[in-house]
Amino acid sequence: MSGIEIFQTWLVAFFTLALFSFLYKDNPVYKLAEHIFAGLTTGYQVGLIWDTVVLQKLWDPMIYDGKWWLFVPGILGIMMFSRFTSKYSWLSRIPLAFVMGTTGGIFLTTQLHGLVLPAMKSTMLPLGGGGGFAAALLAVVVVVGVISTLIYFYFSKEHTGALGVTAKIGIWFIMISFGAHFGYTVMGRVSLLIGRMQFLINDWIGSF
């Protein structure tokens, strides 16, 4: 290991242990690492936006490709900074309204055409479509699950009678799904923990 590699390993090990020290209790070393992490993440965003948005989407096309009209979104973007003044803060509503309106327009079509209709199409499958009894049963389970989940989240009518029974079935389905997601999340976090432990044991302690 070269001198710079040892320095890098020790630096990463210091900040890894500093962040893990919070598991014992809040302490100044953790706070230092936490604040540095927050600053670095913020600074990372600056570099990313500067390169991918300001240069690649705005400056270069406007200056080198002759797309002069891009000064309009540039000015709209700068107008966002009017939020820092009390007198002209209303100007920031204009770019915000543009983003909200266009996003709304995209969502109105894509949510229905891209999500609702395909989800419904994939749910309503023919029972005799091949695959035998097991496939037919699975199709029924999916239909019952989708309908009961939707009814559980329907709050415009009190969950009593048939609606209440269906909502109850819905909560069972939801608990099964949440359980599966919880299991996945636990495994994902444990995988990250194993990665950090491998670094500390193999790379850092191994460098002694």
Partner 1 sequence: MKTTAPVVIAFLGGFIMVVSFFFNEETTFVGGLSQELLNWMIIIGGFTLLLGVVSITRVNWAAVSNKKEGWIYKIFTLLSILVMSIPSVLPNSWSPLLGRDVGSIYDWLFNYLQAPMMATMFATLAFYIASAAYRAFRARNAEATLLLITATLVMLWRVPMGESFLNLFPGDIPYFLNTYIMNGANLAVQRGIIIGAALGAASMSLRIILGIERTYMGRG
Q: How far is the CB of 161 from partner 1 (least distance, A)?
A: 20
Indicate whether 186 belongs to the interface with partner 1 (CB under 8 A): yes
Indicate whether 196 belongs to the interface with partner 1 (CB under 8 A): yes
Binder among 1, 46, 165, 205 for partner 1 (CB under 8 A): 46
CA–CA–CA angle 52, 58, 59 (5° rounding):
100
Binder among 96, 125, 136, 163 for partner 1 (CB under 8 A): 96
Query: Which residue, 90 or 127, has its beta carbon nearer to partner 1?
Result: 90
Distance CA 151, CA 78 (A): 45
Query: Which residue, 70 or 163, has its beta carbon nearer to partner 1?
Result: 70
Q: Which stretch binds partner 1 (CB under 8 A): 30-38, 125-133, 159-167?
A: 30-38
Number of residues located near partner 1, criterion CB under 8 A = 112
Q: How far is the CB of 14 from partner 1 (least distance, A)?
A: 10
Q: Nearest-CA neighbor of 150 among 133, 130, 171?
A: 171
Q: How far is the CB of 207 from partner 1 (least distance, A)?
A: 14
Q: How far is the CB of 202 from partner 1 (least distance, A)?
A: 14
| Footprint (CB under 8 A) of partner 1, residues 49-68 | 49-54, 57-58
Binding mask 105-144 for partner 1 (x = CB under 8 A): xxxxx-xxx-xx--xx-xx----------x---x--xxxx
Indicate whether 36 belongs to the interface with partner 1 (CB under 8 A): yes
- Let me know: does 15 contact 7? Beta carbons within 8 Å: no
| Footprint (CB under 8 A) of partner 1, residues 149-178 | 149-150, 153, 170-178
Q: How far is the CB of 182 from partner 1 (least distance, A)?
A: 5
